[in-house]
């Protein structure tokens, strides 16, 4: 009875921290991970055929309904977070507040494996591609979540037009309506899904698409990308073993 009386408030405290989007840490975990809740809902995934800068692999435009809420890290995984868990820093542009990069899909999965070993209260994973785009758009249907013009990207994302082609500290520009930073630009972000050349046969419920070749999906563009590559619908195909200084990731937490 006495043990249970102590444990219950602790669990409630963790739940309240999560609900409020506050930083949460336990022994061995990064102390500066902030998550926000992404609400359940529907959106049109991909891009219409007349969108400026569109690539053919962004269609067909199709409705996806995500019937669950989930939590997403407000920033890309930083180098400080990576070092806390992994003990080393593989990044090319080294700064604790910059996104970790030069990490493969397999490296990210190993980071997540270690994180899940450390945390008894939450389970971490990569976002699915549908979750990523839904979270990025935050209710918008424009080319960027800030608007339709290339200049609209300047306020929200580091890309080749404003970055000097180097990564920047996470969270310096404006977030989207759901409180997520750097969804466009800074570094490409790994997703769970295998890459397919179009969306014919893709899941419509937010699940990862695990049929296809060996390549995995990355999203969001980078500080070295032109504006069109940083659109909400833009996607890339990457070998899961690729390590590249414009390629990082962010987390989903359950």
65: enclosing H helix or E strand: strand 62-66
Q: Which of 224, 217, 220, 105 is nearest to 167 (CA)?
A: 224
| Spatial distance between the Cα atoms of 138 and 120, rounded to a whole number of angstroms | 30
Estimate the crossing angle of helix 105-118 against helix 79-86, to 10 degrees.
60
Query: Residue 23's pLDDT is what?
Result: 52
Give CA 111 to chain center in angstroms. 15
pLDDT tens per residue, range 76-122: 999 999 999 999 999 999 999 999 999 999 999 999 999 999 999 99
Strand pairing report for 252-253 and 70-73: antiparallel
Residue bearing tokens 């529907």: 42
Local structure of residue 150 (DSSP, 8 states): G
φ, ψ of residue 5 in degrees (nearest 5): -65, -30
Q: Is the pLDDT of residue 22 over 70?
A: no
pLDDT category at 4 given cuts 50, 70, 90 is: very low
Q: What percent of the chain has pLDDT over 70?
A: 89
Q: What is the mean pLDDT of the chain?
A: 92
Q: Is the pLDDT of residue 16 over 60?
A: no
* Residue 185 near residue 101 (C-beta atoms within 8 A): no
pLDDT category at 28 given cuts 50, 70, 90 is: confident
Query: Residue 1's pLDDT is what?
Result: 33
CATH code, 26-253: 3.90.1580.10
pLDDT winner (highest mean) among 1-5, 8-12, 242-246: 242-246
Residue 149 CB neighbour total at 10 angstroms: 13
User: What is the gyration radius of the CA atoms in the chain, in angstroms?
Assistant: 18
Residue bearing tokens 């306020």: 155
Global pTM?
0.90
Domain residue limits, the chain: 26-253
Q: Which of 211, 234, 193, 198 is nearest to 105 (CA)?
A: 193
Query: Residue 26's pLDDT is what?
Result: 62
pLDDT category at 14 given cuts 50, 70, 90 is: very low
Q: What is the maximum alpha-carbon separation in the chain?
A: 65
If you average pLDDT over residues 140-167, what whole number do you get?
A: 98
């Amino acid at each position: 009875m006495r043990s249970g009386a102590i444990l219950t408030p602790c669990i409630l405290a963790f739940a309240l921290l999560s609900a409020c989007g506050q930083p949460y840490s336990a022994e061995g975990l990064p102390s500066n991970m902030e998550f926000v809740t992404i609400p359940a809902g529907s959106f049109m995934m991909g891009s219409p055929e007349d969108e400026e800068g569109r690539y053919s692999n962004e269609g067909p435009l199709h409705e996806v309904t995500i019937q669950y809420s989930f939590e997403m890290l407000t920033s890309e995984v930083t180098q400080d977070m990576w070092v806390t868990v992994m003990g080393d820093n593989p990044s090319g542009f080294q700064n604790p507040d910059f996104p970790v990069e030069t990490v493969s899909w397999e490296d990210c999965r190993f980071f997540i494996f270690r994180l899940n070993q450390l945390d008894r209260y939450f389970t971490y994973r990569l976002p699915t591609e549908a979750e990523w785009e839904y979270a990025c758009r935050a209710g918008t249907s424009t080319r960027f979540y800030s608007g339709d013009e290339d200049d609209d990207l300047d306020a929200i994302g580091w890309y080749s037009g404003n970055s000097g082609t180097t990564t920047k500290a996470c969270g310096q520009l404006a977030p989207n309506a759901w409180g997520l930073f750097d969804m466009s630009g800074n570094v490409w972000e790994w997703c769970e899904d295998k890459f397919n050349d179009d969306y014919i046969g893709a899941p419509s419920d937010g699940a990862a698409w695990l049929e296809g070749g060996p390549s995995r999906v990355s999203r969001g563009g980078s500080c070295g990308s032109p504006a069109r590559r940083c659109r909400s619908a833009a996607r890339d195909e990457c070998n899961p073993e690729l390590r590249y200084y414009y390629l990082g990731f962010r987390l989903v937490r359950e």
